[in-house]
Amino acid sequence: MTTTLIILILAAIGLAFWSAGRAAAETAVVHGRRACEAAGVQWLDQSVHLRAMRLRRGSDGRLGWERVFQFEYSSGGDDRQAGRLTLFGTRLVALVGPMPAAPTVYTGQFT
């Protein structure tokens, strides 16, 4: 009886960990896609890849998982560049990758 209970508890913990990881990966996909769209570049492979994971304290002092995901994008179709997203839980805390093009500002004078 005790062994069965321990196995069930461990299975529940494993399932919760896996589910939180999938939620973070889906959030990273959304942020990666949006970053590429905003920068006007092509998001390659339509996926993100987990590169690192560690326990970290959040701004409220609680422990949580920080996950670093990598994705690839192309500005011209003939190159591959790597971008990186860092999530704490499902909250985006850092993005290194494609940046939106600076808007053109017209001052009313043309040369």
Residue pLDDT, tens place only, 5-52: 999 999 999 999 999 999 999 999 999 999 998 898 999 988 899 999
The model's pTM: 0.80
- The pLDDT score that the predictor gives to residue 99 is 79
**DSSP state letters, the chain:** -HHHHHHHHHHHHHHHHHHHHHHHHHHHHHHHHHHHHHHT-EEEEEEEEEEEEEEEE-TTS-EEEEEEEEEEEESSSS--EEEEEEEETTEEEEEES--PPPPP---S---
User: Alpha-carbon torsion 22, 45, 71, 39, what sign?
Assistant: negative
